[in-house]
Amino acid sequence: MSKPAVWISRKLSDNTQARAARDYDVILNHDDVISSADDIVAMSAKVDAILPCHSEIFNADVVSRLSDRTRIIANHSVGVDHCDLAAFRQRGIVVTNTPDVLSDATAEIAMLLMLGAARRAPEGDDMVRSGKWQSWSPSFMVGTQVSGKRVGIVGMGRVGQVMAQRCRGFGMEVHYHNRTQLAAELEQGAIYHPAIETLLPVSEFLSLHCPATPETTGLMNAERLALLPKGAIVVNTARGALIVEDDLVAAVSSGHVAAAGLDCFVTEPGGNPEFAKHPNIFMLPHIGSATRETRDAMGFRALDNLDAFFAGKEPRDRLV
C-alpha cells in the first residue's frame, strides 16, 4: 500500500524530517526558501497533505486554488493567522496547529527581551564589541530594575501563564487581560482586568501574548500606548500585527515608553528599519520557539496530527 504524499514546506529539525520520511512519501524544500502562492498551489496537486510553517500564506485566493488532492494542512506553528480558516472550512480541508509545545521556549525569549530592554543590553553589547567601552562611573549605563515591578500580560493562554510564572520568580506583581478570567488555580494570584484600558496604567512592563486576529490587530496604538505609565517597557513575542509600529516609534522617541523588546514585526523577515535607529529597542528575528527541543516537539506534534488523520481518527489539534 502506498504511503500518503506530504510536502514539508521548510527545513524542519532532522528528527522531524527523518520521522516523516519513514512514514510518508515526503517532498522536502531543500533550499529552505519561502514558497509563493503559485508554488503552494502547484505543490498541492502532487501531495495529500502539506506541512507548512507560518511563512506560507494561505489566503482565500490560495485556498480556492488548492488541488482537491490536498486534504489536510498540518501547520508547524501555534498561530494560524497565515491561514484563512473560513476558506479552508468551505473547501472541506482539515487544518491543525501545534499548541502546548512552545510555551516554555517563547516565555524564555520574552524574559530575555524584558531583561535586555530594561538593562540596556543592546547598547552594552555594542559598546564592548566595538571597543567603545573606555570608562565607568556610578551613572554609567543605568537601566530599569525588573525585580518587584508590575507586569501586565495581554493574553493569558499557555505562553502567558508560563510568562507569569517566570515573572513571579523575579518577585513581580502580575496583572493580566484575557477574554475570560482564569480559574483561581491558574491565576496563582494574578490580578484580572476585564478591559485592557485598566491594565495598561498599572503595567510598568507590558508583555503581549495574544494571537493576531481582526480584533487584536493594531491593539497597541498611540492611544493605548499613552495609557502606559511613563517609562514603561513593552515586550512582544506574539505577532507583529499587535503593535502599530509607527506609534511605538513615536512613544519611544518621546520617552513615554522607555524601551521595547521585540521578537516579531509587521514585516517578516526584515523587521522595521525605524526601530534600528533606537538603541533602546532590543530586537530578535522571531526566534521565540527556536530551541532544538521545541523544534522537535513542534514537528512531532504536526506529524501526530497527520498520523491521526490518515488513520481515520480525529487529529488532536484540529481547528477546521
Buried b / exposed e over 173-185, threshold 16 CB at 10 Å, is bbbbbbeeebeee
Element containing residue 50 per DSSP (H, E): strand 49-51
Q: Catalytic annotation on 268?
A: yes
The answer to whether the beta carbons of residues 204 and 149 sit under 8 Å apart is yes
CB contact at 8 A, 107 and 159? yes
- Concatenating the DSSP letter of every residue in 189-227 gives TPEE-SSHHHHGGG-SEEEE-----TTTTT-B-HHHHTT
- Phi, then psi, of 35 in degrees rounded to 5: -85, 140
Catalytic position from the list 268, 292, 293, 314? 268
Calpha distance 168→159 (Å, rounded): 14
Q: Catalytic one among 19, 54, 286, 295?
A: 286
Is residue 274 part of the annotated active site? The answer reads no
Round the CA-based radius of gyration of the chain to a whole number and report it: 21
**What distance in Å separates the CA atoms of residue 275 and residue 71, rounded to the nearest whole number?**
41
Catalytic position from the list 239, 245, 295, 301: 239
Count of residues in the chain: 320
- Three-state DSSP state, 255: coil
Q: Does residue 75 contact residue 96 with C-beta atoms inside 8 Å?
A: yes
The C-alpha cell at 58 is 494561505
Mind telling me the catalytic residues? Answer: 239, 268, 286
